[in-house]
Structure 1
Amino acid sequence: MVNEIAGIKTPDSQLAKDAADILREHGNDLLWNHSNRVYYFGAEFAQKENQKHEPELLYVSALFHDLGLTEKYMSDDLRFEVDGANAARQFLETYDLPENTVQLVWDAIALHTTPGVAEHKQAEVALLFHGVGLDVMGDRFEEFPAEKRNEILDAFPRNDFKQEIIPAFYEDFKHKPETTFGNMKEDVIKHFRPDYENNNFCQCILHSPWSE
């Protein structure tokens, strides 16, 4: 593991190393590079905004945030974000950490695709959200120092990330498209299946079992 990139230290505790080993074992280069970029992007935002946070927890959150896309941790009926959060919970509980610490990481992962909520929670949750947003959609791109951005990309290259990440999402939840109801990942289903129709919130209200 690299000790420091772009002036940001890499957590080197046994917990951090074990988390990295899990992603290496069950993920692929796409998820490895993306997840690491997310950590360094989030950590840089923390430095820039002087946000107090626990780097080890941000690191684990970043490494596990897309683990629900892997065959090992993919469920039949849960959102992939929840699959990753559950994997992190199972992992962290083996270290006898306080429940509020475990819950913080769970929330960060489960909410990383939930704009309007994640950025208003604890620092680790918000920083993961912003790191993901920058790497996936280029959110706050101009705010990020170009020199540091390039150093992070040298260590963890994108390698056609734009073209590869959408199919990677689809492969995870094409068998459970209903889990994308009410969240941005429904756009991924429609990208490959334009005629797919999920539940409609208004129809759910109008056809509820209430008598009036």
Structure 2
Amino acid sequence: MNLVIPDTTACRTSLEVATAFHTPALLNHSVRAYLWAAAYAQERGISFDAELLYVSAMLHDLGLATAFDNHSVPFEEAGGHVAWVFGAGAGWPVERRQRAAEVIVRHMWDEVDVEQDPEGHLLELSTGMDISGRNTEAIPAALRAEVLARYPRLGLAKEFVACFESQAERKPDSLAGTFVRGGLAARMAANPLDA
């Protein structure tokens, strides 16, 4: 499978931002989220905006980073705000900035309609694969091995659960709170990508 990370100024800069503010485990998660999404789309013939998906994947968890963790709004909304501002700096029109924010907010939804929002659908699907192991059978074995070798998990489960527990404690009505109460730690511990 030939997966290409789009080579645009916005993509390179979003990787720079993610590298500056994420831990290595969350940075690798962000890259894997894009790669799982792009592979899934390629295998199923889903058309998507590669630059928008990549930038959204790089920025989708920035609301968990200390520098951007908002005390009053869910982390995905904070990350959406960061994406909007990032898009402004990248010279994106307002509509494209808003799309990046929507994709990031929607990655926490249970399901996003592929017809209405292919990028949101793909990021929701791929982050579910990477975090809780949902639908990992859809990742071809050779791709899984290659991506995990290049972007290892680095103790993501422990770090991510701690981030979500912190979010849940401070923002109990958030989706992070719902996920923690719904057994996120157990699902992450059973993720086949960590096997």
TM range (shorter): 0.7 to 0.9
Of 178, 185, 195 in structure 1, the residue corresponding to residue 177 of structure 2 is 185
Provide the C-alpha distance between the structure 2 equivalents of 1:105 and 1:47, rounded to a whole number of angstroms: 21
3-state SS in 2 of match to 1:8: coil
Write the deviation string for residues 142-183 of structure 1: whole angstroms up to 9, x where unpaired.
1220101111111111123223211122234532323x2xx3
Matched to 1:86, the amino acid is H
How many residue pairs are counted as aligned between the two chains?
184
Provide the C-alpha distance between the structure 2 equivalents of 1:80 and 1:125, rounded to a whole number of angstroms: 16
Name stretches of at least 5 consecutive residues in structure 2 with no aligned partner: 184-195
Provide the C-alpha distance between the structure 2 equivalents of 1:185 and 1:65, rounded to a whole number of angstroms: 17
Does 2:85 align with 1:90? Answer: yes
The answer for the alignment partner of 2:34 in structure 1 is 39
Of 56, 59, 63 in structure 2, the residue corresponding to residue 64 of structure 1 is 59
Tell me: CA distance 1:75–1:97, structure 2 relative to 1, closer, same or farther (3 Å). Answer: same
Bigger Cα Rg: 1
Of 96, 117, 127 in structure 1, the residue corresponding to residue 122 of structure 2 is 127
The answer for the alignment partner of 2:191 in structure 1 is none
3-state SS in 2 of match to 1:177: coil
In 2, are the aligned partners of 1:74 and 1:80 still within 8 Å (CA)? Answer: yes
Give the deviation of 1:7 after TM superposition. 1.9
The answer for the alignment partner of 1:210 in structure 2 is none
In 2, are the aligned partners of 1:61 and 1:109 still within 8 Å (CA)? Answer: yes
TM-score w.r.t. structure 2 length? 0.86
Give the deviation of 1:189 after TM superposition. 5.8
In 2, are the aligned partners of 1:64 and 1:84 still within 8 Å (CA)? Answer: yes
3-state SS in 2 of match to 1:51: coil
Give the deviation of 1:184 after TM superposition. 5.4
Matched to 2:123, the amino acid is L
Write the deviation string for residues 13-49 of structure 1: whole angstroms up to 9, x where unpaired.
1111111111111111111010000000000011011
In 2, are the aligned partners of 1:108 and 1:118 still within 8 Å (CA)? Answer: no
Write the deviation string for residues 99-127 of structure 1: whole angstroms up to 9, x where unpaired.
22222211110011111345563111111
In 1, are the aligned partners of 2:40 and 2:138 still within 8 Å (CA)? Answer: no
CA RMSD of aligned residues (A): 2.0
Does 2:22 align with 1:27? Answer: yes
Q: Answer with 157-166 or 102-111: which moved more.
A: 157-166
Tell me: CA distance 1:72–1:175, structure 2 relative to 1, closer, same or farther (3 Å). Answer: same
3-state SS in 1 of match to 2:26: helix
Q: Percent identity at matched positions?
A: 28
User: Structure 1 stretches (4+) deviating beyond 3 angstroms?
Assistant: 116-121
Give the deviation of 1:98 after TM superposition. 2.2
Matched to 1:72, the amino acid is A
Q: Answer with 139-148 or 57-66: which moved more.
A: 139-148
The answer for the alignment partner of 2:193 in structure 1 is none
The answer for the alignment partner of 1:113 in structure 2 is 108
Does 2:158 align with 1:160? Answer: no
Give the deviation of 1:140 after TM superposition. 1.5
The answer for the alignment partner of 1:204 in structure 2 is none
3-state SS in 2 of match to 1:149: helix
The answer for the alignment partner of 2:70 in structure 1 is 75
Matched to 2:177, the amino acid is K
Provide the C-alpha distance between the structure 2 equivalents of 1:157 and 1:118, rounded to a whole number of angstroms: 30
